Structure 1
Amino acid sequence: MEKNKIRYLGLGGIVGPVLFSASVVITAGVRTDYSHITHFISELGATGTPTEEWMNFVGFVPSGILIVLFAIALLTFSKKKPMAVIGSVFMMLFGAGMAIAGLFSCDQGCIPNGSLESLIHDRVSAVTFISAIAGILLSGFSFNKLSFFRKFWGFSLFTGLVSIVLLAIMINSFESRNLTGLWQRLLLLFLFLWTSRIGIHIFKNTEQIS
Protein backbone atom coordinates (compact mmCIF):
# COMPACT_ATOMS: atom_id res chain seq x y z
CA MET A 1 0.00 0.00 0.00
CA GLU A 2 1.29 3.50 -0.85
CA LYS A 3 2.71 5.46 2.07
CA ASN A 4 0.38 8.39 1.44
CA LYS A 5 -2.68 6.12 1.67
CA ILE A 6 -1.40 4.58 4.89
CA ARG A 7 -0.92 8.04 6.39
CA TYR A 8 -4.52 9.01 5.77
CA LEU A 9 -5.91 5.68 6.93
CA GLY A 10 -4.12 6.36 10.21
CA LEU A 11 -6.26 9.47 10.64
CA GLY A 12 -9.22 7.17 11.19
CA GLY A 13 -7.89 6.63 14.72
CA ILE A 14 -8.35 10.34 15.37
CA VAL A 15 -11.39 11.34 13.31
CA GLY A 16 -13.44 8.33 14.43
CA PRO A 17 -13.20 9.13 18.16
CA VAL A 18 -13.78 12.86 17.54
CA LEU A 19 -16.89 12.16 15.45
CA PHE A 20 -18.21 9.69 18.00
CA SER A 21 -17.58 12.00 20.96
CA ALA A 22 -19.18 14.95 19.18
CA SER A 23 -22.24 12.84 18.41
CA VAL A 24 -22.54 11.85 22.08
CA VAL A 25 -22.32 15.46 23.24
CA ILE A 26 -24.78 16.77 20.64
CA THR A 27 -27.40 14.05 21.06
CA ALA A 28 -27.18 14.12 24.86
CA GLY A 29 -27.63 17.89 24.72
CA VAL A 30 -31.11 17.56 23.25
CA ARG A 31 -32.20 14.89 25.74
CA THR A 32 -33.31 16.51 28.99
CA ASP A 33 -33.86 13.06 30.51
CA TYR A 34 -30.29 11.91 29.85
CA SER A 35 -27.30 11.81 32.21
CA HIS A 36 -23.68 11.25 31.18
CA ILE A 37 -23.03 9.90 34.68
CA THR A 38 -25.59 7.11 34.88
CA HIS A 39 -26.77 6.30 31.34
CA PHE A 40 -25.14 4.11 28.71
CA ILE A 41 -24.00 5.86 25.54
CA SER A 42 -26.06 3.30 23.62
CA GLU A 43 -29.21 4.78 25.14
CA LEU A 44 -28.71 7.78 22.87
CA GLY A 45 -29.25 5.47 19.90
CA ALA A 46 -31.90 3.27 21.50
CA THR A 47 -34.87 2.23 19.38
CA GLY A 48 -37.65 4.81 19.35
CA THR A 49 -35.66 7.65 20.92
CA PRO A 50 -35.48 11.06 19.23
CA THR A 51 -31.71 10.79 18.88
CA GLU A 52 -31.68 7.22 17.49
CA GLU A 53 -30.75 7.95 13.87
CA TRP A 54 -28.17 10.63 14.65
CA MET A 55 -26.29 8.60 17.24
CA ASN A 56 -26.33 5.42 15.21
CA PHE A 57 -25.70 6.70 11.68
CA VAL A 58 -23.55 9.74 12.43
CA GLY A 59 -21.91 8.36 15.57
CA PHE A 60 -21.59 4.58 15.84
CA VAL A 61 -21.47 3.43 12.22
CA PRO A 62 -19.10 5.94 10.55
CA SER A 63 -16.87 6.11 13.63
CA GLY A 64 -16.56 2.34 13.64
CA ILE A 65 -15.64 2.31 9.94
CA LEU A 66 -12.96 4.93 10.57
CA ILE A 67 -11.49 2.80 13.37
CA VAL A 68 -11.37 -0.16 10.96
CA LEU A 69 -9.41 1.99 8.48
CA PHE A 70 -7.02 2.94 11.27
CA ALA A 71 -6.55 -0.74 12.10
CA ILE A 72 -5.73 -1.47 8.45
CA ALA A 73 -2.99 1.17 8.62
CA LEU A 74 -1.74 -0.43 11.83
CA LEU A 75 -1.68 -3.83 10.13
CA THR A 76 0.65 -2.58 7.40
CA PHE A 77 3.37 -2.11 10.04
CA SER A 78 3.02 -5.59 11.49
CA LYS A 79 5.88 -7.01 9.37
CA LYS A 80 4.08 -10.36 9.59
CA LYS A 81 4.81 -10.63 13.31
CA PRO A 82 1.95 -12.80 14.66
CA MET A 83 1.27 -10.73 17.78
CA ALA A 84 1.19 -7.49 15.79
CA VAL A 85 -1.11 -8.99 13.17
CA ILE A 86 -3.52 -10.37 15.78
CA GLY A 87 -3.48 -7.04 17.64
CA SER A 88 -4.42 -5.22 14.44
CA VAL A 89 -7.21 -7.72 13.73
CA PHE A 90 -8.63 -7.15 17.21
CA MET A 91 -8.62 -3.41 16.54
CA MET A 92 -10.55 -4.10 13.33
CA LEU A 93 -13.08 -6.03 15.41
CA PHE A 94 -13.30 -3.02 17.73
CA GLY A 95 -14.24 -0.76 14.84
CA ALA A 96 -16.54 -3.31 13.22
CA GLY A 97 -18.25 -3.85 16.57
CA MET A 98 -18.93 -0.14 16.93
CA ALA A 99 -20.51 -0.04 13.49
CA ILE A 100 -22.62 -3.15 14.11
CA ALA A 101 -23.76 -1.76 17.48
CA GLY A 102 -25.13 1.19 15.54
CA LEU A 103 -27.01 -1.05 13.13
CA PHE A 104 -28.63 -3.04 15.95
CA SER A 105 -30.01 -0.66 18.59
CA CYS A 106 -30.72 -1.55 22.18
CA ASP A 107 -34.24 -1.11 23.56
CA GLN A 108 -35.03 2.10 25.44
CA GLY A 109 -33.12 2.05 28.71
CA CYS A 110 -30.85 -0.69 27.28
CA ILE A 111 -32.46 -3.16 29.66
CA PRO A 112 -31.15 -6.76 29.72
CA ASN A 113 -33.11 -9.60 28.06
CA GLY A 114 -34.92 -7.30 25.68
CA SER A 115 -35.72 -7.74 21.98
CA LEU A 116 -33.53 -9.77 19.63
CA GLU A 117 -32.06 -6.59 18.19
CA SER A 118 -31.23 -5.38 21.68
CA LEU A 119 -29.63 -8.71 22.59
CA ILE A 120 -27.45 -8.54 19.48
CA HIS A 121 -26.43 -5.02 20.44
CA ASP A 122 -25.49 -6.12 23.95
CA ARG A 123 -23.44 -9.12 22.79
CA VAL A 124 -21.66 -7.13 20.10
CA SER A 125 -20.88 -4.33 22.55
CA ALA A 126 -19.26 -6.77 24.96
CA VAL A 127 -17.07 -8.23 22.20
CA THR A 128 -16.23 -4.72 21.02
CA PHE A 129 -14.76 -3.58 24.33
CA ILE A 130 -12.87 -6.83 24.87
CA SER A 131 -11.47 -6.68 21.33
CA ALA A 132 -10.24 -3.12 21.82
CA ILE A 133 -8.42 -3.97 25.04
CA ALA A 134 -6.92 -7.16 23.58
CA GLY A 135 -5.83 -5.26 20.48
CA ILE A 136 -4.09 -2.57 22.51
CA LEU A 137 -2.31 -5.05 24.78
CA LEU A 138 -1.15 -7.30 21.94
CA SER A 139 -0.05 -4.27 19.93
CA GLY A 140 1.84 -3.01 22.96
CA PHE A 141 3.76 -6.26 23.35
CA SER A 142 4.57 -6.28 19.62
CA PHE A 143 5.63 -2.60 19.59
CA ASN A 144 8.73 -3.50 21.59
CA LYS A 145 9.92 -5.38 18.49
CA LEU A 146 8.79 -2.83 15.91
CA SER A 147 11.10 0.17 15.67
CA PHE A 148 8.39 2.42 14.22
CA PHE A 149 6.23 2.00 17.34
CA ARG A 150 8.78 1.05 19.99
CA LYS A 151 8.34 4.21 22.07
CA PHE A 152 4.63 3.40 22.50
CA TRP A 153 4.92 -0.08 23.99
CA GLY A 154 4.78 1.12 27.63
CA PHE A 155 1.95 3.55 26.89
CA SER A 156 0.02 0.72 25.22
CA LEU A 157 0.42 -1.71 28.11
CA PHE A 158 -0.58 0.99 30.61
CA THR A 159 -3.66 1.86 28.53
CA GLY A 160 -4.64 -1.79 28.23
CA LEU A 161 -4.30 -2.50 31.94
CA VAL A 162 -6.22 0.62 33.00
CA SER A 163 -8.92 -0.28 30.47
CA ILE A 164 -9.30 -3.75 32.01
CA VAL A 165 -9.86 -2.18 35.42
CA LEU A 166 -12.39 0.32 34.07
CA LEU A 167 -14.25 -2.41 32.18
CA ALA A 168 -14.48 -4.50 35.35
CA ILE A 169 -15.76 -1.54 37.37
CA MET A 170 -18.31 -0.69 34.68
CA ILE A 171 -19.62 -4.26 34.54
CA ASN A 172 -19.85 -4.35 38.32
CA SER A 173 -22.05 -1.23 38.23
CA PHE A 174 -24.62 -2.68 35.81
CA GLU A 175 -27.05 -3.81 38.49
CA SER A 176 -27.04 -0.60 40.52
CA ARG A 177 -26.38 1.66 37.50
CA ASN A 178 -24.29 3.75 39.91
CA LEU A 179 -21.88 5.86 37.81
CA THR A 180 -22.17 3.39 34.91
CA GLY A 181 -22.11 6.15 32.32
CA LEU A 182 -19.03 7.71 33.90
CA TRP A 183 -17.09 4.42 33.89
CA GLN A 184 -18.05 3.76 30.28
CA ARG A 185 -16.87 7.19 29.20
CA LEU A 186 -13.58 6.85 31.06
CA LEU A 187 -13.02 3.49 29.40
CA LEU A 188 -13.69 4.94 25.95
CA LEU A 189 -11.47 7.91 26.77
CA PHE A 190 -8.47 5.62 27.30
CA LEU A 191 -9.27 3.54 24.21
CA PHE A 192 -9.68 6.63 22.04
CA LEU A 193 -6.56 8.31 23.42
CA TRP A 194 -4.63 5.26 22.28
CA THR A 195 -6.05 5.17 18.75
CA SER A 196 -5.57 8.93 18.45
CA ARG A 197 -1.96 8.89 19.62
CA ILE A 198 -1.02 6.00 17.38
CA GLY A 199 -2.99 7.53 14.50
CA ILE A 200 -1.13 10.84 14.84
CA HIS A 201 2.18 8.97 14.83
CA ILE A 202 1.25 7.07 11.67
CA PHE A 203 0.10 10.23 9.92
CA LYS A 204 3.16 12.31 10.86
CA ASN A 205 5.90 9.72 10.40
CA THR A 206 4.91 7.21 7.71
CA GLU A 207 6.60 9.11 4.87
CA GLN A 208 9.89 9.08 6.78
CA ILE A 209 10.16 5.30 6.42
CA SER A 210 12.64 4.32 3.74
Structure 2
Amino acid sequence: MKTLDRLLLASGLLIPLWLLAGVWLTAQAYPGYDHLQQAMSQLGAVGSPTHSWSPLVNNYPLAALFALFAWGLARCWRGSKLALLSAAMVLLHGIGSMGTGWFPCDQGCAPAQPSTSQQLHNLSGLLMFLSLTLASALWAWLGNRIAGSQAFALLSLTCVILAIVTVALMGQAAQSGQLFGLYQRLNYGVSVIWIASLAWVSLRTPAASPLRMTAT
Protein backbone atom coordinates (compact mmCIF):
# COMPACT_ATOMS: atom_id res chain seq x y z
CA MET A 1 0.00 0.00 0.00
CA LYS A 2 1.30 3.42 -0.92
CA THR A 3 2.22 5.93 1.77
CA LEU A 4 -0.50 8.31 0.57
CA ASP A 5 -3.14 5.60 0.93
CA ARG A 6 -1.99 4.80 4.44
CA LEU A 7 -2.09 8.45 5.46
CA LEU A 8 -5.56 8.93 4.01
CA LEU A 9 -6.92 5.83 5.74
CA ALA A 10 -5.17 6.74 9.00
CA SER A 11 -7.26 9.92 9.10
CA GLY A 12 -10.19 7.64 9.92
CA LEU A 13 -8.36 6.44 13.03
CA LEU A 14 -7.85 10.04 14.09
CA ILE A 15 -11.53 11.04 13.84
CA PRO A 16 -12.82 9.67 17.20
CA LEU A 17 -9.77 11.02 19.02
CA TRP A 18 -10.21 14.47 17.48
CA LEU A 19 -13.90 14.49 18.33
CA LEU A 20 -13.27 13.54 21.94
CA ALA A 21 -10.48 16.05 22.42
CA GLY A 22 -12.25 18.85 20.55
CA VAL A 23 -15.54 18.59 22.42
CA TRP A 24 -13.77 18.29 25.77
CA LEU A 25 -11.51 21.27 25.09
CA THR A 26 -14.35 23.48 23.87
CA ALA A 27 -16.57 22.55 26.81
CA GLN A 28 -13.86 23.74 29.22
CA ALA A 29 -14.48 27.30 27.99
CA TYR A 30 -18.27 27.00 28.41
CA PRO A 31 -19.15 27.63 32.08
CA GLY A 32 -21.66 25.12 33.42
CA TYR A 33 -21.77 23.04 30.26
CA ASP A 34 -23.32 19.61 30.96
CA HIS A 35 -22.25 16.77 28.65
CA LEU A 36 -25.15 14.58 29.79
CA GLN A 37 -27.87 17.13 29.12
CA GLN A 38 -26.63 19.48 26.40
CA ALA A 39 -26.15 18.83 22.70
CA MET A 40 -22.70 19.17 21.22
CA SER A 41 -24.18 21.76 18.85
CA GLN A 42 -24.78 24.08 21.79
CA LEU A 43 -21.03 24.64 21.94
CA GLY A 44 -21.31 26.53 18.66
CA ALA A 45 -24.82 27.92 19.15
CA VAL A 46 -25.58 31.60 18.68
CA GLY A 47 -24.84 33.41 21.92
CA SER A 48 -22.76 30.63 23.47
CA PRO A 49 -19.36 31.49 25.02
CA THR A 50 -17.66 29.27 22.44
CA HIS A 51 -19.78 30.24 19.41
CA SER A 52 -16.97 31.84 17.41
CA TRP A 53 -14.34 29.13 17.68
CA SER A 54 -16.16 25.84 18.32
CA PRO A 55 -16.57 25.14 14.57
CA LEU A 56 -12.86 25.85 14.04
CA VAL A 57 -11.95 23.21 16.62
CA ASN A 58 -14.66 20.65 15.92
CA ASN A 59 -16.79 20.86 12.77
CA TYR A 60 -14.30 22.03 10.16
CA PRO A 61 -11.32 19.83 11.10
CA LEU A 62 -13.62 16.81 11.37
CA ALA A 63 -15.12 17.61 7.98
CA ALA A 64 -11.61 17.65 6.51
CA LEU A 65 -10.73 14.33 8.16
CA PHE A 66 -13.90 12.70 6.83
CA ALA A 67 -13.13 14.00 3.33
CA LEU A 68 -9.58 12.65 3.47
CA PHE A 69 -10.80 9.30 4.75
CA ALA A 70 -13.44 9.13 2.01
CA TRP A 71 -10.68 9.69 -0.56
CA GLY A 72 -8.65 6.92 1.03
CA LEU A 73 -11.62 4.52 0.93
CA ALA A 74 -12.26 5.30 -2.71
CA ARG A 75 -8.61 4.57 -3.57
CA CYS A 76 -8.45 1.45 -1.43
CA TRP A 77 -11.70 -0.21 -2.57
CA ARG A 78 -11.97 1.20 -6.09
CA GLY A 79 -12.94 -2.21 -7.50
CA SER A 80 -16.26 -2.25 -5.64
CA LYS A 81 -19.12 0.02 -6.64
CA LEU A 82 -20.81 -0.39 -3.26
CA ALA A 83 -17.58 0.45 -1.45
CA LEU A 84 -17.25 3.56 -3.62
CA LEU A 85 -20.83 4.44 -2.65
CA SER A 86 -19.86 4.08 1.00
CA ALA A 87 -16.93 6.44 0.40
CA ALA A 88 -19.37 8.94 -1.11
CA MET A 89 -21.54 8.61 2.01
CA VAL A 90 -18.53 9.35 4.21
CA LEU A 91 -17.80 12.43 2.09
CA LEU A 92 -21.43 13.55 2.46
CA HIS A 93 -21.05 13.14 6.20
CA GLY A 94 -18.08 15.47 6.10
CA ILE A 95 -20.16 18.00 4.15
CA GLY A 96 -22.86 17.67 6.82
CA SER A 97 -20.27 18.30 9.52
CA MET A 98 -19.20 21.44 7.67
CA GLY A 99 -22.83 22.50 7.43
CA THR A 100 -23.54 22.12 11.14
CA GLY A 101 -20.61 24.42 11.84
CA TRP A 102 -21.33 26.96 9.11
CA PHE A 103 -25.00 27.20 10.12
CA PRO A 104 -25.05 27.40 13.94
CA CYS A 105 -28.17 26.49 15.84
CA ASP A 106 -30.16 29.13 17.68
CA GLN A 107 -29.55 29.74 21.36
CA GLY A 108 -30.49 26.56 23.21
CA CYS A 109 -30.79 24.71 19.87
CA ALA A 110 -34.54 24.10 20.37
CA PRO A 111 -36.40 27.33 19.56
CA ALA A 112 -40.17 27.42 19.06
CA GLN A 113 -39.62 29.28 15.79
CA PRO A 114 -36.29 28.14 14.32
CA SER A 115 -34.29 30.53 12.18
CA THR A 116 -33.09 29.65 8.70
CA SER A 117 -29.68 28.90 10.19
CA GLN A 118 -31.26 26.49 12.68
CA GLN A 119 -33.21 24.73 9.93
CA LEU A 120 -30.09 24.33 7.79
CA HIS A 121 -28.22 23.12 10.88
CA ASN A 122 -30.88 20.48 11.43
CA LEU A 123 -30.78 19.38 7.79
CA SER A 124 -26.99 19.08 7.99
CA GLY A 125 -27.34 16.97 11.12
CA LEU A 126 -29.87 14.72 9.39
CA LEU A 127 -27.46 14.31 6.47
CA MET A 128 -24.74 13.30 8.91
CA PHE A 129 -26.93 10.64 10.51
CA LEU A 130 -28.31 9.17 7.28
CA SER A 131 -24.98 9.10 5.45
CA LEU A 132 -23.01 7.16 8.06
CA THR A 133 -25.92 4.85 8.87
CA LEU A 134 -26.18 3.95 5.18
CA ALA A 135 -22.40 3.51 4.94
CA SER A 136 -22.48 1.16 7.94
CA ALA A 137 -25.33 -0.81 6.37
CA LEU A 138 -23.33 -1.20 3.15
CA TRP A 139 -20.38 -2.63 5.05
CA ALA A 140 -22.63 -5.05 6.91
CA TRP A 141 -22.84 -6.61 3.42
CA LEU A 142 -19.35 -5.78 2.18
CA GLY A 143 -17.36 -6.61 5.31
CA ASN A 144 -17.18 -10.33 4.67
CA ARG A 145 -17.59 -10.13 0.89
CA ILE A 146 -14.65 -7.90 -0.04
CA ALA A 147 -12.69 -7.37 3.19
CA GLY A 148 -12.87 -11.00 4.25
CA SER A 149 -13.97 -10.10 7.78
CA GLN A 150 -17.20 -11.54 9.11
CA ALA A 151 -16.47 -9.85 12.43
CA PHE A 152 -16.43 -6.42 10.78
CA ALA A 153 -19.64 -7.21 8.90
CA LEU A 154 -21.32 -8.07 12.21
CA LEU A 155 -19.87 -4.96 13.84
CA SER A 156 -21.26 -2.83 11.01
CA LEU A 157 -24.71 -4.36 11.40
CA THR A 158 -24.56 -3.83 15.16
CA CYS A 159 -23.59 -0.20 14.64
CA VAL A 160 -26.57 0.33 12.31
CA ILE A 161 -28.92 -1.04 14.97
CA LEU A 162 -27.32 1.00 17.74
CA ALA A 163 -27.43 4.18 15.62
CA ILE A 164 -31.17 3.74 15.04
CA VAL A 165 -31.88 2.90 18.69
CA THR A 166 -29.89 5.84 20.05
CA VAL A 167 -31.42 8.33 17.61
CA ALA A 168 -34.83 7.20 18.82
CA LEU A 169 -33.66 7.77 22.39
CA MET A 170 -32.47 11.23 21.35
CA GLY A 171 -35.97 11.99 20.11
CA GLN A 172 -37.48 10.92 23.42
CA ALA A 173 -34.88 12.91 25.35
CA ALA A 174 -35.63 16.01 23.28
CA GLN A 175 -39.27 15.70 24.36
CA SER A 176 -38.54 15.00 28.03
CA GLY A 177 -35.60 17.39 28.33
CA GLN A 178 -33.49 14.72 30.03
CA LEU A 179 -30.16 13.19 28.95
CA PHE A 180 -30.17 14.39 25.34
CA GLY A 181 -26.43 15.01 25.50
CA LEU A 182 -25.76 11.46 26.68
CA TYR A 183 -27.77 9.82 23.91
CA GLN A 184 -26.31 12.10 21.27
CA ARG A 185 -22.79 11.17 22.35
CA LEU A 186 -23.66 7.49 22.32
CA ASN A 187 -25.16 7.86 18.85
CA TYR A 188 -22.21 9.70 17.36
CA GLY A 189 -19.71 7.68 19.35
CA VAL A 190 -21.00 4.51 17.69
CA SER A 191 -20.55 6.12 14.27
CA VAL A 192 -17.00 7.35 14.74
CA ILE A 193 -15.89 4.08 16.35
CA TRP A 194 -17.25 2.33 13.28
CA ILE A 195 -15.28 4.73 11.07
CA ALA A 196 -12.08 3.94 12.96
CA SER A 197 -12.82 0.21 12.64
CA LEU A 198 -13.30 0.55 8.88
CA ALA A 199 -10.01 2.42 8.67
CA TRP A 200 -8.28 -0.37 10.59
CA VAL A 201 -9.76 -3.11 8.39
CA SER A 202 -8.80 -1.21 5.24
CA LEU A 203 -5.24 -0.69 6.45
CA ARG A 204 -4.83 -4.38 7.34
CA THR A 205 -6.12 -5.77 4.04
CA PRO A 206 -3.08 -6.57 1.86
CA ALA A 207 -2.71 -4.20 -1.09
CA ALA A 208 -2.19 -7.14 -3.43
CA SER A 209 -5.32 -8.92 -2.27
CA PRO A 210 -7.77 -9.61 -5.11
CA LEU A 211 -10.54 -8.71 -2.66
CA ARG A 212 -9.68 -5.06 -3.20
CA MET A 213 -10.51 -5.35 -6.85
CA THR A 214 -13.70 -7.41 -6.50
CA ALA A 215 -16.52 -5.71 -8.33
CA THR A 216 -19.67 -5.61 -6.22
Same fold (TM over 0.5): yes
Q: RMSD of aligned C-alpha atoms?
A: 1.9
Letter in 2 for 1:33: G
The 10-residue stretch of structure 1 (36-45 or 86-95) with the greater mean CA deviation from structure 2: 86-95
Q: Which residue of 2 aligns with 1:83?
A: 82
For 1:28, give the aligned amino acid: A
Identity fraction in percent: 29
2:181 partner amino acid:
G
Instruction: Tell me which residue corresponds to 2:213.
Output: none
Q: Distance in 2 between matches of 1:115 and 1:98?
A: 19
Partner of 1:21: 20
Shift of 1:190: 0.8
Does 154-163 or 76-85 show the bigger shift?
A: 76-85
CA shift, 1:136, in A, is: 1.0
Q: Which moved more, 1:186-195 or 1:136-145?
A: 136-145
Deviation at 1:66, TM superposition (A): 0.2
Mean CA deviation greater in 127-136 or 74-83: 74-83
Superposition map of 1:57-206 within 5 A: 57-112=56-111, 113-147=113-147, 151-203=151-203, 205=204
Distance 1:55 1:149, change over 3 A: farther
Letter in 2 for 1:60: N
Q: Secondary structure at the match of 1:72?
A: helix
Deviation at 1:151?
Answer: 4.3
Shift of 1:178: 1.3
Distance 2:147 2:156 in 1: 15
Post-superposition shift, 1:3? Answer: 2.2
Q: CA deviation at 1:172?
A: 2.4
Q: Which runs of 5+ in 1 are unaligned?
A: none
- For residue 150 of structure 1, report the CA deviation from its aligned partner: 5.2
Specify the SS of the correspondent of 1:37. coil
Q: State the Cα distance separating 1:32 from its structure 2 match.
A: 2.3
Deviation at 1:184, TM superposition (A): 0.3
Number of equivalenced pairs: 207
8 A contact 1:10–1:202 mirrored in 2: yes
Unaligned runs of 5+ in 2: 209-216
Given residue 76 of structure 1, which amino acid in structure 2 is its aligned partner?
R
Q: CA offset at residue 149 of structure 1?
A: 5.2
Shift of 1:138: 0.9
How far apart in 1 are the matches of 2:31 and 2:182? 17
Q: Quick check: 1:19–1:63 contact (8 Å CA) kept in 2?
A: yes
Q: Which deviates more from structure 2 when the two are superposed, residues 154-163 or residues 178-187?
A: 154-163
